[in-house]
Amino acid sequence: MGVVLIYWLMVIAGAADIELFDFDIDIGADVDIDGDIDVGSATSVGFVVLRFLNIGQVPLVIWGSVFVIGFWISSLAFTLFFDDRTTYSDYTTVALYVLRNFAIGVFGAKLITTPMVPWFEIDEGPKPEELVGKSCEVTAPLKADSRGQASFRTNAAPLLIHVRCEKDEFRKGDTARIVAYDAETKTYLIESVREV
């Protein structure tokens, strides 16, 4: 608990960065929670458990701090009010007490960090299929049956996409309509936007 307090005091004072002991756990990219999971795979089960506990969805230093506080409070409360202190000389009993407090800390961290998950979600932008039917701006001259790039506006920075056209020609700054997406080449097919 003292280490956690010192760490957060250093963060507040500006002597340490909040990401000093943090590292990225990319769970969503490798494991599809809604899909089929090979239960025999320890890695898959481990990722499911981490995701359930919000580890990787909430920065590890925040999750760890909440866990330590929960572990410390439960240890203190049980020691003062519930545990029989005469059993503290029995290592098996003490180990069970520690395991109990650990479990309380873990599930307490899960409950407290669950509302925090949306705060740390990263907007990965629209999926490729969602761009079909929308407009983009050609970033360089593009001749018929050739490839180039176009800019697609998003709520954040514009998305630069690879495009190809079959028969139309475009100048830099022209607006085009996205009509298809080729997942194999990761290229969008565009055509001219003609006014009716």
Does the pLDDT of residue 98 top 50, yes or no? yes
pTM: 0.51
Is the pLDDT at 69 greater than 70, yes or no? yes
Question: What pLDDT shows up at residue 119?
Answer: 84
**What is the pLDDT at residue 18?**
54
Three-class secondary structure assignment of the chain: CHHHHHHHHHHHHCCCCCCCCCCCCCCCCCCCCCCCCCCCCHHHHHHHHHHHCCECCECHHHHHHHHHHHHHHHHHHHHHHHCCHHHHHCHHHHHHHHHHHHHHHHHHHHHHHHHHHHHHCCCCCCCHHHHCCCEEEECCCECCCEEEEEEECCCCCCEEEEEEECCCCECCCCEEEEEEEECCCCEEEEEECCCC
Please write the tens of the pLDDT for every residue from 109-161: 999 999 988 888 776 667 888 889 999 999 988 888 889 999 998 877 788 89
Q: Are strands 159-165 and 135-138 parallel, antiparallel or unpaired?
A: unpaired
The predicted-structure confidence for 15-49, as pLDDT tens digits, reads as follows 655 555 555 555 444 444 444 444 444 556 667 88
Instruction: List beta partners, residue 181.
Output: 188
Provide the 10 A C-beta neighbour count for residue 66. Answer: 21
Pick the more confident residue, 84 or 72: 72
Average pLDDT for 48-58: 83
Domain coordinates in residue numbering, the chain: 2-120, 128-192
Architecture of domain 128-192: Beta Barrel (2.40)
The average confidence (pLDDT) of the chain is: 80
Least confident of 32-41, 71-80, 91-100: 32-41
